[in-house]
Amino acid sequence: MRKNYLDNIRWGTVLLVLIYHVCYLFNGVGVLGGIGRNKSVPAFNAFLYLVYPWFMVLLFVIAGTGTRYSLEKRSYKQFISNRATKLLIPSTLGLFIYHWITGYINIKVGGGMAYIPVPIRYPVFVISGTGPLWFIQMLFLFSLLIVLIHKIDKKDKAWNFCGKANSAVLLLLVIPIWGAAQILNMPVLTMYRFGIYFMAFLLGYFVFSHDKVQDLVEKMHIPMLLAAIASAVLYVFFYFGENYTSAQCLQSFFTNAYLWIAVLAVLGCGKAWGNQTSRFSRYMTKSSFGLYIVHYPILMVICYFLYYDCNYPVVMNYIIALVTEMVFTIIVFEVLKRIPGIRYFVLGIKGESKSKAEADK
């Protein structure tokens, strides 16, 4: 039976990513990769601090939970084939078809175009165009590793043991989260945090895929929500003005305690209040993965023109960017998924099975 609240949390978090990237591209707190650093609004900068510690950790927890359900229905071969199509193809070959646009804007904003010989510009754009695709690259790697783990533990002893977790254990999981945040972090490319994201994926797979654990998290949702709100206020107050992607920030116990409280709060509140479906939620469940894939090049083009070619009030830049991003992301996604070949390389959608592929995370 499909768990609607997990789908709703997933696409809701994807919407957060789309909002986050608008604020990020106009950020005024010194985080690399922005376009409009001199045109930022402090309130929108605060939003970056509010969500950055936890929203991608949450996506990996949800992905780990979904991976457990997927492996229960598929053979190893079917699972890996599905993940290769859904994750590997868009995050590698898709760079050549679509995401080179991200690399082009990055280099143009950074002033490096004049230093790159014309014959090799396109390959450089491709290499520089990964953007948010790091998430699905890591997810593919973790999917391969979980197959290996599953093969070693064929009797599911680890999974069954983790199903015994109580509320105290769920709270104490902040310790492995904090520990994992200290390791396997790439320099410069700070989004590649293999330690904490793999830990989040494993916890989703081994712990939060149990119905009993999900029910337990639901019972905790009110105190976790209150704790998350209080922690968020303190967190933004404490770190505002610093580089929220720095190791000093991301590896602190405070950051990891806040993110874990937030993850538990979202999972619990989602189960308590978000298990319904509607026409919109069903569309988003099918489409959010594709929207995640296509949104960033669109947003970069929009923000580039707003910053360099327009003279709107600063707040209007955010509003215009967000609205046009949402509209054009949906339009481009709907167009691309209907073009044979392109939909495979960019979205990981195979011909007749596109509806199933869109819904399958």
206-221 pLDDT, tens digit each = 999 999 999 999 999 9
pLDDT of amino acid 353:
43
Reported as a pLDDT band with limits 50, 70 and 90, residue 37 is low
pLDDT of amino acid 175:
98
Q: In Å, what is the CA distance from 342 to each residue of 66, 130, 201, 291, 336?
A: 26, 17, 30, 15, 6
Residue 269 neighbours by CB under 8 Å, 6+ apart:
221, 224, 225
Letter string b/e over residues 267-287, b meaning 16 or more CB atoms within 10 A of that residue's CB: bbbbbbebeeeeeebeebbbb
pLDDT of amino acid 111:
86
Reported as a pLDDT band with limits 50, 70 and 90, residue 355 is very low
pLDDT of amino acid 360:
45
Ramachandran area for residue 188 (φ above 0: left; ψ -120 to 50: alpha; else beta):
left
Residue of 127, 117, 124, 214 lying closest to 165 (CA atoms): 214
Sign of dihedral through CA atoms 106, 137, 271, 256?
Answer: negative
pLDDT digits (tens, 9 = 90+) for 243-287: 999 999 999 999 999 999 999 999 999 999 999 999 999 999 999
Q: What's the full length of the chain, in residues?
A: 361
Beta bridge partners of 193: 185
pLDDT of amino acid 38:
65
Contact 58, 9 (CB under 8 A): yes
CA 96, CA 17: separation in Å to the nearest integer? 23
Please report, for the chain, the start and end positions of each structural domain, with discontinuous segments joined by +. Answer: 4-359
Mean pLDDT for 177-184 is 97
Q: Is the pLDDT of residue 223 over 80?
A: yes
Q: Is the pLDDT of residue 1 over 80?
A: no
Q: Is the pLDDT of residue 356 over 50?
A: no
Question: Both ends of the chain: CA-CA distance in Å?
Answer: 15
Largest CA distance in the chain: 63
Average pLDDT, the chain: 93
Q: In Å, what is the CA distance from 182 to each residue of 139, 168, 169, 231?
A: 20, 23, 21, 21
Q: Where are the beta strands (DSSP E) in the chain?
A: none
pLDDT of amino acid 7:
97
